[in-house]
Structures are given as C-alpha cells and as structure tokens.
Amino acid sequence: MTTMTDPPGQGFRLSQLIYDTRYRSLTIQVVAMVLLMLLFSWLVSNTIHNLQNLGKDFDFGFLTQPSGYDINQRLIEYNSQMTHGRAALVGILNTILVAFLGCALATVLGVVAGVLRLSNNWLVSRLMSVYVEGFRNVPLLLWIVLIFALMTESTPAPRAFRGDDATASMLFDAIAVTNRGVYTPAIHFGTPFFANGFFNWLVVILVLGASLYAIRRLHHWATERQEATGDRPTTWYFTLGLLILPTAILMVLMSAYLNLPELKGFNFGGGIHLRNSLIALWLALSLYTGAFIAEIVRGGILAVSKGQTEAAYALGLRPSTTMNLVILPQALRVIIPPLISQFLNLTKNSSLAIAVGYMDVRSTLGGITINQTGRELEGMLLLGLFYLVLSLLISGAMNIYNASVKLKER
C-alpha cells in the first residue's frame, strides 16, 4: 500500500474499499466471488471424500458398456447388446419426440380452448372452463396416470380383433385402435434409393421442401403481378401441381406402397405402431399444458382493445382478415412470452414419462442405467446437462421468434 501514496492530494486508503461507492461494488463482488469459490471447493472436496469412502470413482466409462435392457420405442436402431450411451441416445430422441408433439398439440388445444372459452355459446364456454380448471388444478402426474389407465380400459385389446366373432374392427381396414396403441399404415419403398431408410425419407422431405419453396415463389410472383397490373393471375392449379406432382413422381420412382397393419400372433404387425405410453403421455402433457395456454390465449385476445376490431371493420376489412391482420399480431405479442415458458414446462414435465413406462431419457439414462450401474452422480449430471441444454435451445429459438414479432418501436 505504501507505493500507492504517491499521487498527491487524495491517496487511496484501505477504508475506501468499504466506504467509497466507486470501490465498494468491487469489494462486494470480490468477497462474493471468494465465498462462492469456497462453497464450491467445499462441495467438491466433500464429493471427492465421499466417493473415496464408498470406493467409487468418477468415470463415464459405463456409457460404453453393454446396457442389457430392451427399449420398446426406438427411433434409432438399438438392442440390449448395445451400450448405455446408445440407450441414453434413444431416450433423448424419445424425449425430444414427445416434447415436440406435445408442444404442437398443446398449442392447438390451447388456442381452440382459449377461443371457445370466449364463445357466446354458454354451454361451450362453461365446458371449456371446466376443462381448463380441471386440468390446471390437479397434478399432472395424476392426469398422466389416469389418462393412461383410461385409454387401456376404454379401447379393445388386440385379441378382440381376432376370430369370426371379433368384437372390434379396424377403421377403414387400415387403422387399428387397441389398448396397446394405435397401428397405422406405413409407407414402404419397393425400390428405395438408399439402403438406409432414413436417407430415403430425407430425399422425400427435401423434395417436399423444394415444392413448398417453389409455391412460395409462385405466390410472391402473383402478388407482384397483382400490384403491377391489378389482376391476380390464377395460380391454384400450379400450386396444387407443385405440391403433389414432384413428391408423387418420387414415390412412384421408389415404388412406394402402403404397409397395412395386420393381426399376427399376439399383436398387430406391420404399419406404424404408436404406443399407448406415447399417446397417453402426449395427450396428458398436451391437455395439461393446453389448459394453461388457453388462459394465456384468452388473456391475449382480451388484451387487444375492442377499438381495434371496430377500426378494422370501419376500414372495411372482413372478420377473417381482421383476425389475421389486426387482432392476432397484437395478441401474439402478449401471448408469446408466457407461451415460451409453457413450452419449457412441457418439455421438463415430459420427464414424468416413467409413470406410463415411456422410455424417455429420464427412464433410460436417469433410470435403468443408473440403477444397473450405480453411477448416480455421473448419470444425474448428464441428465441435468441434457435438460439444461434443451431448455436453453428452446427458449433461445422462441426468443428469436419473439423478437421478430415484437413491436418495432421507431
């Protein structure tokens, strides 16, 4: 400190660290930092000690060992001889799948229920209130369990489809609704381009995407024409053709055919099997979150003042145009921020999948793997990290969208 006394007049005194507002914030931060570091090192040293006492180590090697258990729903190839890491990956994909499906359906349900709750039909609005209050005020876990049980109780078992005196039959001879899930036809390729099915679908999606882009360009062109000449060229048959033809040609080239589910042995075989655990979890998550979204949507619509609607009518806009161009854009600004947190909640709530035996990442990595290997510290760490990253990604993406619809103040 003695070297610091050189500047004339006001020298730096130690007490300034506390009493001078210029330095005080620095002092506080340093103290906080030190305390935080102490806390962390204390926790870490405890952990090391405890691990030593238990004779355990901190090692992610278990991820490369064979898992030994089977998973029913797998979006990538997997069997019980593959590794724990692979099992975790299967779980991760399942989590993402149900979260994605859930967010989509919850939004639809929420918007419908929110609008219907404002309906002037007394019965409908009351019914929607019952739905919203019923789902908001009962724990999600209970709903998941109840919906799962309800679905198994109310749909026929595959054996009901069997024999001459079958008590159940397939819809259009193509879709079978059973209490093990829904079996729908699948599209298979007779002469696929690639041996790996995934790449074939990638091609289909790419072609479809290109079609959609072309349609967008077409509409753009039509609008420009309309602005230039006042006439809008008729485009609907182009649109239709662009939408269907390229994909259809591709399908013919790969000789696509429908693989219908049929009763084989104990179960239906063929087709796509949407398991009950997925459907129940999906429905429960969507209905539960939908109830919250309904309230958000209702609030958002009510927040747009009536004068806006009246002004739009005065301009001669039709009700549908009014909704699309005037009400919704304004309501969206109110709706989106809370909607993001609902999406996040839904994603996190998908970790309750174990209640219906849906093999999400919590059930594979955070459940069976931890249980079989005894690696709870490593497993939980990975699990926490995964959810954290997923949450950050979702909120990041949604925030970008939010910024794009936000009121641009000039």
Partner 1 sequence: MSEVHAQTVAYVRDTMLDQREPPLSQSGAYKWIHENLLSSWVNVVLTVASLWVIWAVLSHVVPWAALGIWSADSLAQCREIRDQIYGADASVACWAVIGERWNQLLFGFYPTELYWRPILAFVLFLVAIAPVLFASLPRKMLWFTLAAPFVLFWLIWGGAIWTPIVVALGFVIGWAVVTFAGPAIGALGGVVLAIVAPLLYWLLVAGPLADALATVLPIGLEPVKSNEIGGFMLATIIGVSGIILSLPLGIVLALGRQSDLFLINKCSVIFIEVIRGVPLIVWLFTASLLLNYFLPPGTNFDLMLRVIIMVTLFSSAYIAEVVRGGLAALPKGQYEAADALGLDYWKSMRLIILPQALKISIPGIVNTFIGLFKDTTLVVFIGLLDPIGLSNAIRASTQWNGIYWELFVFIGLCFFVFCFSMGRYSLFLEKKLRREHR
Partner 2 sequence: MKKTVILGALTVAGLAAGAASAGTLDDVKARGKLNCGVSTGLTGFSAPDANGVWQGFDVAVCRAVAAAVLGDPMAVDFVPTTGQTRFTALASGEIDLLARNTTWTFSRDVDLKFEFVGVNYYDGQGFMVPKELGVSSAKELDGATVCIQTGTTTELNLADFFRVNNISYEPVPIETNAEAQQQYLAGACDVYTTDASGLAATRASFEAPGDHVILPEIISKEPLGPLVRHGDNEWGDIARWTLNALIAAEEYGVTSANIAELSAAPGNNPEINRLLGTEGELGAMLGLEADWAKKAIMANGNYGEVFEKTIGENTPIGLSRGLNAQWTEGGLLYSPPFR
Q: Which residues bind partner 2 (CB under 8 A)?
A: 54-56, 68-72, 79-81, 145, 148-149, 152-153, 156-160, 179-180, 264-267, 269, 276-277, 354-355, 357, 359, 363, 367-368, 370-372, 374, 376
Residues 204-236 as b or e (16 or more Cβ within 10 Å = b):
beebeeebeeebeeeeeebeeeeeeeeeeeeee
Helix H or strand E segment including 71: none
351 binds partner 1 (CB under 8 A): yes
CA distances from 108 to 111, 278, 401 (A): 5, 18, 18
Which residue matches tokens 């109780």?
A: 153
How far apart, in whole angstroms, are the C-alpha atoms of residue 66 and residue 369? 10
By CB under 8 A, residue 396 contacts partner 1: no
Residue from 4, 11, 13, 32 that binds partner 1 (CB under 8 A)? 32
Residue 118 in contact with partner 1, rule: CB under 8 A: no
Q: Is residue 358 a contact residue for partner 1 (CB under 8 A)? A: no
- Element containing residue 183 per DSSP (H, E): strand 181-184
Considering the rule CB under 8 A, would residue 13 count as an interface residue with partner 1?
A: no
Closest approach, Cβ 375 to partner 2, in A, equals: 10
Nearest Cα neighbor of 286 from 112, 88, 93, 149 is 112
**Which positions ≥6 away from 222 have C-beta within 8 Å?**
232, 233, 235
> With contact defined as beta carbons under 8 Å apart, do 181 and 276 qualify?
yes
Looking at residue 408, what DSSP letter applies? -
Q: Is 146 a residue that touches partner 1 (CB under 8 A)? A: yes
Query: Judged by CB under 8 A, does residue 142 bind partner 1?
Result: yes
**25 interacts with partner 1 by CB under 8 A:** yes
Q: Which does 158 bind (CB under 5 to 8 A by kind): partner 1, partner 2, none?
A: partner 2
Smallest separation (angstroms) from partner 1 to the CB of 357: 13
Q: How far is the CB of 362 from partner 1 (least distance, A)?
A: 7
C-beta separation of 179 from 276 below 8 A:
yes
Contacting residues toward partner 1, per CB under 8 A: 18-19, 24-25, 28-29, 32-33, 36, 43, 46-47, 49-51, 53, 116, 119-124, 127, 133-134, 136-142, 145-146, 149, 344, 348-349, 351-352, 354, 362, 366, 370, 376-377, 380, 383-384, 387-388, 390-392
